[in-house]
Amino acid sequence: MNEMSNMSSGYSGNRTSRGAADPNSLISRKLRDFYDNVREERIPDRFIDLLEKLDKAEKASKPATRSKGE
């Protein structure tokens, strides 16, 4: 049981007890940098066109609904 508690305590987020060379810290930072770059990438026009076509097809396939007040 002690072994399991040691494993879980390594992921507690307590940054003061870990050094800058901690592999989890390094991996976290690199992953965050990578995903930040991906989020900043421009969506290709063909994907936007495809999404618009899918939205139109979805709206066309749904029957007209009435609001609750009608």
**How many angstroms separate the CA atoms of 26 and 31, rounded?**
9
13 neighbors 28 (Cβ within 8 angstroms): no
> Which pLDDT band holds residue 63 (cuts at 50, 70, 90)?
confident
Whole-model pTM?
Answer: 0.39
Could you identify the residue written with the tokens 């007040």?
A: 69
* Range 2-16 average pLDDT: 46
* Residue environment code for 19-48, b if the CB has 16+ CB neighbours within 10 A, otherwise e: eeeeeeeeeeeeeeeeeeeeeeeeeeeeee
Q: Tell whether the model's pLDDT for residue 33 goes beyond 50.
A: yes
